[in-house]
């Protein structure tokens, strides 16, 4: 496991793994992952766990920060009276959704959301 950045996120899937930091992302296919069989704590199997990882190619263009996109839309709305994509009712719905998620985790069950159609 690579821990050579201030923040690292690891994603494991059936076809391989990725470890992403703030500046770099490394990927390893399932075929390149060392097989661990007959694990014995007293015996070093000599596996190089950094081998088989490849640095992912850089993105050709980086998407805008979503926070910045929201602020730009808000400023256009205030300065140029441009329409807002999300109104107060969308904000109320999102807060209700966040509260339902929190309650669902606490109670370990699905929470019904009145006024919200299933699949929307």
Helix (H, G, I), strand (E, B) or coil at 25: strand
- Please determine, for residue 1, whether its predicted confidence score (pLDDT) is greater than 80: no
Beta strands in the chain (DSSP E): 9-13, 16-20, 25-29, 54-55
What pLDDT does 107 receive?
97
Dihedral of alpha carbons 36, 38, 40, 46, sign: negative
**Model's pTM, two decimal places?**
0.47
Are the beta carbons of 64 and 70 closer than 8 angstroms?
no
- Cβ neighbours of residue 23 closer than 8 Å, sequence gap 6 or more: 5
Cα separation, 59 vs 17, in Å, equals 18
Mean pLDDT within 10-20? 93
Average pLDDT over all residues of the chain = 85
- Please determine, for residue 55, whether its predicted confidence score (pLDDT) is greater than 90: yes
Give 84 or 120, the one with higher predicted confidence.
84
pLDDT in tens, 61-117: 878 888 999 899 999 999 999 998 888 888 888 999 999 999 999 999 999 987 766
What pLDDT does 117 receive?
60
């Amino acid at each position: 496991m690579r821990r050579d950045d201030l923040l690292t996120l690891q994603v494991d899937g059936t076809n391989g793994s990725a470890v992403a930091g703030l500046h770099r992302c490394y990927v390893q296919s399932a075929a390149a992952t060392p097989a661990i069989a007959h694990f014995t704590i007293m015996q070093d199997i000599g596996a190089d766990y950094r081998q088989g990882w490849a640095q992912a190619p850089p993105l050709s263009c980086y998407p805008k920060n979503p926070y910045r996109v929201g602020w730009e839309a808000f400023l256009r709305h205030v300065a140029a009276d441009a329409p807002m994509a999300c109104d107060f009712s969308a904000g109320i719905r999102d807060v209700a959704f966040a509260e339902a998620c929190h309650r669902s985790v606490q109670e370990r069950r699905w929470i019904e959301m009145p006024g919200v159609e299933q699949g929307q």
